[in-house]
Structures are given as C-alpha cells and as structure tokens.
Amino acid sequence: MNAAPPALDRAADRPLMATRRAVREALHAERVTPPELVLVALSGGADSLALAAALAAEAPKLGIRAGALIIDHGLQTGSDDVARTAAEHAAAWGLEPVIVRRIVVAEDVPGGPEAAARSARYEAFAEGAEATGARAILTAHTRSDHAEQVLLGLARGSGLRSIAGIPATRSLSSACTLLRPFLAPDPEITRETTLASCARLGITPWADPHNADPKYARVRVRDRVLPVLEAELGPGVAAALARTADLAAEDAAALDTLAAEALQRARHSSDQAPASVSLDVAVLDGLPAALRNRVIRRLAATEFGAHLGREHTETVAALVTDWRGQGPIPVPGIRVGREAGRLVFRAYARAPR
C-alpha cells in the first residue's frame, strides 16, 4: 500500500490536482483555520478515497488537522473488512485520528433502507464531530450524484428545492458543518474523476454492490435513464443537469430569504407560538404565489413541526386568494382558519384525510 500519493505530473495527474483544488477551495470558503480539525467521511469507495487523499495532501499546507471517520453500516457481509482497509489507507496517508464506527440501521422505517442508513450515518457524523471537536466533516458527493439527484427530484415533482440537487453544505451542529467539496462546478469532479484519481494513487476502491442493484431508483437513473438521455440528446446531459441544480439552488435560496422577510412582515408580534400564530391576510394577498406558499410552509415547519405538501399548502392559500367563508381547515399538524383579516394557525393533533 502506498504511504503517500505519488509525485505530481501535471499532464497525468489532472484528476488529483482537481480534487485537491476542490478541497482547498471548500475549506477556504468555510474559513477553516489552524489548528482546527477536519474529518473526511470515508467509505472505501472511489469518491471518498479520492477525497481522503486530497484532504491528506492539502491539510498540511493549510496548517489544519485532518482525520477520517469510517462508518460501517453492517449491512453486507465483509463490511468490517472494507472499513479496515479504508482505515489503513487513511493511516498510510497520515490522517489522524482515524475513527471506525459500527452503526445499527433500523429496519421497516419510512423511506426504506436507504433513508434509514442515511439517517443513522448523519447521526454518527454528528456524534463523531462532537467527540473529536471537528470543525467540519467532508463527504464525497460528486457532480455525477448532483445530476442524478435532479432527475430523481423531477420524478417526485417536489418543486424548485427538490431539483436543486444536493446542498453543498449542511449544518451538523452549531460547531460543525458538513461540506461537500466535489459538488462545486469548478473544478468539475465527476465519478470518472475520482476513479482516475484512485488509479493514479495505485489503489483499488471498494465497489459497493448496492450501487449496481436496480431495485434502487438512483441506480436505475445512473445505469438506464442517463445513458438513454445521452444517446438521444447528445453528450453533456449529466453536466447540464448539474448546472440546472446550481441555478435552482440559487433561486431557491433567494426565494427562501424573501419568504422569511415576508413572514416577518405578515406575522402579528402579539402571538405566542405554538398555541397560535396569525398572519395578516392583506400582506399574504399581495405576495406572488411562490412567496405566499413558501411563507405558509415555512411557518408550518418552524412553529409547528408540520411539513405541508403542495395540495395542503394550496388549500391553506385559498383562505387568502379564494375566500368564500370556508374553514377552519385541518392539514398535517395544524388547523388554519381565517378570522378578522388574519390567517390563524393552531396546533392540531389529528391527521386530516
């Protein structure tokens, strides 16, 4: 096993240089400073190995500490061997600490095994960050994953935020941020980039059998849908989808900011949530539908922990735009009625039909 990445040759090592630049720029944007600790989430696959090697190369230059967090989901035979090999790579590259955690993935939960594994994994990330005092945890989602997520979002019909793909950052706690350096548009890091990086490093990445199992929608998108789109529409479809996600994320962020400001204007300060919250109908009526619906969903989520779909949101919005004396209306987690020029939200335990 190589103790360190080989010396760079600019022509042959463009993938390595691209991954290193992506890591360097992500850490700079997050303002990680010496002697803060950064952990890489390492699975043993090509994407995470390329990320770990890039972090190992860049961290000493930046004066920061770099370690690895390896999560063994225990879902497959030999997963402990995969975790052990990943840990050996991390140690050989000088990452410290190298932490291996075995997690238990709940069965028969909403969203299926993928959602359960993801939830358990992020819980382990947060625990690992707290235990080590890590400033950031890096994960290796690439532009290829970004493009696939756009197609999955389109299939769900979940709106702008859904087709915005995978967020580049995510808060794990007040002290730790999850960073995804390989999602940046420049340099463009795809699955091919990380495979080429591993080849140059002289390592054989683990091939997760789940990534070839067609029972998962993301696998069907990768192996069946995208190749058809490339064949029928020409090369570059995946890159175009990833750019679409970038643009959608920018627009969604702007609309969310405007919705938060509109919520502040519409809300009556005398209300005491979560017993009840009321919004000025006149303010809501003056908003474009995109903002009005965001205000309703934001209030439901932040004050009552209720997550409204489009049908429920539009039913509530009709109390503003199509008022005919109807209401109050029960939607998941809340009951909403119109009273004296106000839209009044109250906690409601029963699940509506």
pLDDT tens by residue, 86-104: 999 999 999 999 999 887 7
- Give the span between the Cα atoms of 316 and 343, in whole angstroms: 9
- Give the span between the Cα atoms of 208 and 72, in whole angstroms: 12
Query: What residue ranges define each of the domains in the chain, with the CATH number in brackets?
Result: 14-233 (3.40.50.620), 267-347 (3.30.465)
pLDDT tens by residue, 314-353: 999 999 999 988 778 899 889 999 998 999 999 876 544 5
Q: With beta carbons less than 8 A apart as the criterion, state whether 107 and 149 touch.
A: no
Residue 136, strand partner residues: 38, 177
Q: What is the DSSP letter of 267?
A: B
φ/ψ (deg, to 5) at 321: -95, -20
Q: Which residues contact 3 (CB under 8 A, 6 or more apart)?
A: 92, 93
Rounded alpha-carbon distances, angstroms, from residue 168 to 111, 255, 290:
23, 18, 24
User: Across residues 112-120, what is the average pLDDT?
Assistant: 77
Better-predicted residue by pLDDT, 190 or 79: 190
pLDDT tens by residue, 143-152: 999 999 999 9
What average pLDDT does the structure give for the chain? 90
For residue 64, the model assigns a pLDDT of 97
- Give the span between the Cα atoms of 8 and 5, in whole angstroms: 8
Q: What is the DSSP letter of 332?
A: T
Rounded alpha-carbon distances, angstroms, from residue 348 to 157, 275, 334:
27, 10, 4
Q: With beta carbons less than 8 A apart as the criterion, state whether 218 and 152 touch.
A: yes
Q: For the chain, how many residues are written?
A: 353
Q: Report whether pLDDT(45) > 90.
A: yes
